[in-house]
Structure 1
């Protein structure tokens, strides 16, 4: 999504192909990006969104779509659910030469994983591996580690909530507006039982949450079971939304000064911008409060500094000022929306016909090296695993690291 404005500015005038849920969410993402990076003029924003929406081609999952069909080449794509955020997809690209009258087996199948979701992500079904890939371009964000189990992370989230109740403090959760926030709300609805207010202080996150509610058809079976029980996973009674900037400042002041425990979810996820910064400035110096990280903190961000130095009561610089960290700092790794090492390996192992070549992208060098080793180890099958009548799957001929 993030590159679309740059492509348009560079002269791209083709279609924007995406899944049906992404077609609903994409204008929200790009409107926010346009306002932040280009202009807040309403007429310009509306013109930009009209241009975006006129080019969107929304594809159903699991159906082939022909991009090119000439005597020399046929290129088809198919979107499959990736389980990362609502609407995410991995892409199968099938390339053949119709003029040669070759069979379907003679085509080349390239699979681009995009961002793959964790197998236990709330709300969304886990991604299923494709039947076949000749070449696989695979993400490696968490290629060097495995996440906590869903049960473990829920236990740790509940422990943080209990401490907030005991200390009359606030649990600050920096989170990105789409995906992570909705997963957290889903978990909190189950854990809280109306004990604690949840403050969603992000207009953009509120818009995405409303869109998620509209797209219930794409939720997983567990979420639908909750709905049938009359529960409201993303609209429970103790969920409060903060829209205007004035309301935001009042909420920061109220929670910092009062002894009322609460949970605040605000962006940005790495604490380098957004409304979470004001909460941190007001509360980092008070040991009653908790900062709970639920996602990856990139090196050089305030989030990484708080994560690294907070447990030793160090400091962080926010907007050029130094703030001592006395609040409790915790990290729950299991809430990452990206698949971990085992999930990525399972994605490859689950293919009936495995790739001859794997290219690892979207990860730190260490993560790519570790995933490369794990894939090589996992994809070497011994002869006793080959069943009669079936061709043996062979390990990839080449697993390479690509930036």
Structure 2
């Protein structure tokens, strides 16, 4: 066998379950992510993705796990990896080192045990395994007479702490050197809170995600205007705007954008009324149909609240725009109208209150694909009612309730939640530009803005159409530049 070899244990047949193994030689390998499968994504033998928890590959040669970021589809199977006998370190960025124990504590409670002593013991074990790597700093994983391996993390701009991974291999006996880059999930340019990712200087082999490999996002200004327009339209119905969002990343971006919309509306309203900027505004701002000063933004997710606090604590890793707002005295992730709902009793009371009253409100709740969590309770109580609106701002994977609602909602269809059928009477909206993933242009740029383009590109983490369209675009750019490339789309049957 010629080394290095890459084996894809997940994210081959869809966008979840990311898990890639780089075999450096017969004795040494490294694992990039170990994520949970979600929705209807299936294995080669047709098993449902949600049931694919077992670690079905040998661990003997794996010297370390590198976590590109802490989304559950990239780290959710770490409890099962540890249970299977993995003894190595978990390498991640400094922000991820703060966030990862929170994610894995929640995953452990959901999938293994809620016994507090077991949970605490498990979290301590995870924390002992973590090695936090500063961005742009090489870490030597292996250094022997035959093989040298060093790893470096670079900002990926997807969520706080996200990274793409550069791995340098030096085979000392032959003198061969190879650089392999794993993109993880790449962020969109001009994303709220985070600086945009910069591509690496070079790569011999690139493993790249393709979630939005077949489409382009709206620009930041137009998507923010669309968000504002959807809020105006939805709340004119005198109901609630429900926004499903994953607890980390999307939720904080939404809070950031909502704070800015409210800030601009209040500033405009005060200027229009001849009111000093530091005085309270009691009238409707800027001629809007929404009473912005009184509009509650409800964050109904204890986990999202913990992550939001962690985001605040990790302020040094924010982008320049966000830091500038802090200097201006603003609080982008905490403002007067932001209400957090923690206990389950408070959650149930909030669902009843919003379902029965006609007061406009915005609710952000997990999970982002409506496959469980507190958003499901809102949907059961409110999805049938045309006063309410549902806004999707993130990718909805095949087989999830979110995809079913997105597909059938405009036609007044239905969705099955926990084995019961619910009619869709609420209005359904989608703003794709709020994805935290790079679009086709961003993915192509990640490849072609390198000084030395990779000779092999392996496309993962996308649906079939997204992968094939991205492959075609990459090949076309190489032909245009008179360069050669091998584009590989791993399937369920091969590595």
TM range (shorter): over 0.9
Match of 2:363 in 1: 264
Give the deviation of 1:380 after TM superposition: 2.8
* Alpha-carbon separation, structure 2, partners of 1:236 and 1:285: 31
Match of 1:357 in 2: 456
Query: How many pairs are equivalent?
Result: 388
Deviations 1:289-332 (A, max 9, x none): 11000111112211111111111111112222222211110000
In structure 2, which of residues 177, 185, 190 is the aligned counterpart of residue 115 of structure 1?
Answer: 185
Output the aligned Cα RMSD: 1.3
Give the deviation of 1:119 after TM superposition: 1.2
Q: Does 2:118 align with 1:19?
A: no
* Alpha-carbon separation, structure 2, partners of 1:18 and 1:191: 34
Match of 2:483 in 1: 395
| TM-score of the two chains, using structure 2 as the length reference | 0.77
Match of 1:10 in 2: 84
Q: Which runs of 5+ in 1 are unaligned?
A: 383-393
Give the deviation of 1:163 after TM superposition: 2.1
**Aligned 8 A contact 2:157 2:163 in 1:** yes
Q: Does 2:151 align with 1:151?
A: no
Q: Which runs of 5+ in 2 are unaligned?
A: 1-74, 264-291
**Aligned 8 A contact 2:478 2:485 in 1:** no
* Alpha-carbon separation, structure 2, partners of 1:322 and 1:12: 42
Match of 1:34 in 2: 108
Q: Does 2:239 align with 1:165?
A: no
* Alpha-carbon separation, structure 2, partners of 1:79 and 1:360: 20
Match of 1:391 in 2: none
- Describe the shift of the 1:51–1:286 C-alpha distance in structure 2 as closer, same or farther (beyond 3 A): same
Match of 1:302 in 2: 401
* Alpha-carbon separation, structure 2, partners of 1:285 and 1:137: 43
- Describe the shift of the 1:253–1:402 C-alpha distance in structure 2 as closer, same or farther (beyond 3 A): same
> Pairwise mapping of residues 2-401 of structure 1 onto structure 2 (< 5 A)?
2-98=76-172, 102=175, 107-193=177-263, 194-195=292-293, 196-382=295-481, 395-401=483-489
| TM-score of the two chains, using structure 1 as the length reference | 0.94
* Alpha-carbon separation, structure 2, partners of 1:145 and 1:259: 38
Give the deviation of 1:402 after TM superposition: 1.4
* Alpha-carbon separation, structure 1, partners of 2:302 and 2:326: 25
**Aligned 8 A contact 1:376 1:395 in 2:** no
Give the deviation of 1:99 after TM superposition: 5.3
